[in-house]
């Protein structure tokens, strides 16, 4: 049975601690680019915590929002790729096939969420930092776009294990690295097509919104509004 992977992020729980940011770097072999490249906007963070300031002192306030690939149902990045490197997989993920990518960066320009990152250089890990690399995730080379995969390597491992044990995949049996790490449990991951899953239950909340819903991308990341 096909699944529709999705995520709910409760902004009322999120504290902006950024555990998800480092978890993603560690899991997905994301290279650090250094100060000069970072200043040119070339730092790669598949997930980031945005903060929105409202009001002036002393009534200033902040709202945090973790932003990652929204795994759109109708993804602008997919339609523009001349080599079909951005493609929609059967489980609803906006997958990026690295060895098809020729680096036009059309997808990055088309994405309204700014969550696709281009490798301007070959990544470098000063030895022996290369030993931290996760063998389950390929390292991207210069000229390639990369993005959040919902930790597809973890999805695959869980699916294979369930298959080997001849049983269906359980809800919340595994999680992407960001969800696993999240201390206030702001993030929940699972199958949106399974009405019994925690993620589809939370997606029914009256606090549920989607980011830039009005542009018609049908995101599969659902935010629960902060209350106050």
Q: What residues line the site for other proteins (CB under 8 A)?
A: 10, 12-13, 15-19, 21-23, 25-27, 32-35, 38-39, 43, 45, 48-58, 60-65, 126-135, 177, 180-186, 209, 211-212, 224-228
| Residue 70 Cβ vs other proteins, minimum distance, rounded to whole Å | 13
Q: Which one, 82 or 128, has the nearer CB to other proteins?
A: 128
Distance between CA atoms of residues 193 and 191, nearest Å: 5
Minimal distance in Å, beta carbon 2 to other proteins?
Answer: 28
**Terminal Cα distance for the chain, rounded:** 40
Residue 71 Cα to chain centre, angstroms: 8
The nearest distance, CB 116 to other proteins, in angstroms, is 15
Residue number with CB closer to other proteins (84 or 161): 161
Bond preceding residue 144 cis, omega within 30 of 0 = no
> Min. distance of Cβ 66 from other proteins in angstroms?
10
**Other CB atoms closer than 10 Å to residue 128's CB: what's the count?**
7
Beta pairing, strands 61-67 & 48-54: antiparallel
Nearer to other proteins, 27 or 191 (CB): 27
Cβ contact 189:5 at 8 Å: yes
């Amino acid at each position: 049975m096909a699944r529709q992977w999705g995520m709910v992020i409760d902004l009322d729980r999120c504290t902006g601690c950024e555990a998800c940011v480092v978890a993603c770097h560690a899991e997905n072999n994301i290279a650090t680019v250094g100060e000069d490249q970072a200043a040119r906007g070339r730092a790669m963070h598949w997930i980031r915590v945005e903060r929105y300031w409202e009001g002036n002192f002393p009534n200033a306030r902040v709202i945090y929002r973790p932003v990652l690939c929204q795994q759109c149902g109708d993804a602008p990045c997919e339609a523009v790729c001349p080599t079909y490197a951005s493609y929609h997989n059967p489980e609803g993920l906006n997958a990026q096939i690295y060895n098809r990518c020729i680096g036009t960066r059309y997808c990055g320009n088309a994405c309204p969420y700014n969550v696709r990152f281009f490798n301007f250089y070959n990544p470098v890990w000063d030895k022996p930092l290369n030993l931290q690399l996760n063998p389950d995730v390929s390292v991207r080379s210069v000229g390639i776009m990369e993005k959040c995969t919902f930790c597809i390597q973890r999805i695959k491992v869980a699916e294979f294990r369930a298959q080997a044990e001849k049983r269906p995949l359980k809800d919340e049996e595994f999680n992407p690295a960001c969800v696993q790490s999240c201390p206030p449990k702001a993030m929940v991951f699972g199958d949106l097509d399974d009405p019994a899953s925690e993620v589809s239950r939370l997606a029914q909340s009256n606090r549920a919104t989607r980011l830039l819903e009005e542009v018609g991308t049908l995101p599969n990341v659902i935010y629960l509004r902060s209350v106050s």
